[in-house]
Amino acid sequence: MNRNTKISKSLSFWLRHKPDEADIVLSPEGWAAVSDVLKAFEKKKIVCDYELLKQIVTSNDKKRFEFSKDGRCIRARQGHSISIDLGLAPSEPPNVLFHGTATRFLQLIQKEGLKPMKRHHVHLSPDANTAVTVGARHGKPVVLEVAAKEMCLGGFVFFQTENGVWLTDSVPEKFLSLHQSTTTSIT
């Protein structure tokens, strides 16, 4: 694993799941002092200075992290397994959103719907291509369409992060269907 990947994975782990593993304290909104994060890298013998951290955050293709306006703090934008208030306002979703998963999970999802599992929300993508990429991280990908507008009209709440990921508490199976382009790959 190259250094930049190691830094990004460490950030994800510390800022989303286990800040105590790096002696980092997160604010209720998930912010950590950049100085504490850099000290954590030093303690773990991972070479990382502010400029490299900034480069990794700004070049991350998924835009997983963000700096505070003054640049003194950093946080993960979503994907937390610990309680964090990202301060997101409810948003009206588009008619359809997408969820990428592996084919081995499809039968259970079709029976029970989408659940946040170890996270606080179900993550949804605005387009099928992104969902394919997400699903491929877990095995042979399959894409589900989520009737998001219908869910919203039924009282479900959606949030959108700054990097375009949509979040909701769960997606009951009745709001799910197979995305056309992946139907042939799962039969």
Hey, what CATH topology would domain 97-186 get? ADP-ribosylation fold (3.20.170)
Model pLDDT for residues 44-99, shown as the tens digit of each residue: 999 999 999 999 999 877 788 999 999 999 999 888 888 888 888 999 999 999 99
The reply to whether 97-186 shares the fold of 3-76 is: no
Q: CA–CA separation, 60 vs 163, rounded Å?
A: 11
Stated as kind and residue range, the H or E segment containing 145 is strand 141-146
Query: Which phi and psi angles does 151 have, rounded to 5°?
Result: -60, -45
Q: What is this structure's pTM?
A: 0.76
Q: CA–CA separation, 98 vs 128, rounded Å?
A: 6
Q: At what angle do helices 50-59 and 34-43 cross, to 10 degrees?
A: 110
DSSP 26: -
From the options 1.20.1630.10, 2.40.40.20, 1.10.10.970, 3.90.550.10, give the CATH code of 3-76: 1.10.10.970
Taking 3-state DSSP, the helix, strand and coil percentages for the chain, each rounded to the nearest 5, stand at 40, 20, 40
What residue ranges do the domains of the chain occupy?
3-76, 97-186
